[in-house]
Amino acid sequence: MSMLSEDGAGSLAVVMWNRTLWWAVDELVEKLTPEQLSNLRVRTGEHLAAILTTTFLRTAPAEVDTKGDVDLWFDLTDAQERRRTEILPGRATSAGLR
């Protein structure tokens, strides 16, 4: 029997402060080239995925897909803070979002 209720009570939630989202947008603009930014597909929500993932990984993506590979690739070796292990294993040095 699951301990989760039908309304989602007890499930993991990621909460982000609005200023952290603004930081993520600034980080993306600072770290990505204009070409990489223009390759974020708005219709599929890739730009939102980049902002939200940058927010909770505490680093901008190192690569943005231009050839049909992983959409966003993150190098976590220099991430600013430790991440919660429920989201990503604490020793992970990279992450990809497809």
CB contact set of 36 (below 8 Å; sequence gap of 6+)? 63, 64, 66
What is the pLDDT at residue 41? Answer: 84
- Structure confidence by residue, pLDDT tens digits, 11-60: 777 778 889 999 999 999 999 999 888 888 888 888 898 999 888 888 89
Task: Please list the residues that pair with 95 across neighbouring strands.
Answer: 74
What is the pLDDT at residue 88? Answer: 65
What is the pLDDT at residue 3? Answer: 55
State yes or no: pLDDT of 1 exceeds 50. no
Q: What is the DSSP letter of 72?
A: E
- Structure confidence by residue, pLDDT tens digits, 66-92: 777 788 888 888 765 655 555 666 667
Q: Is the dihedral angle over the CA atoms 11, 17, 18, 21 positive or is it negative?
A: negative
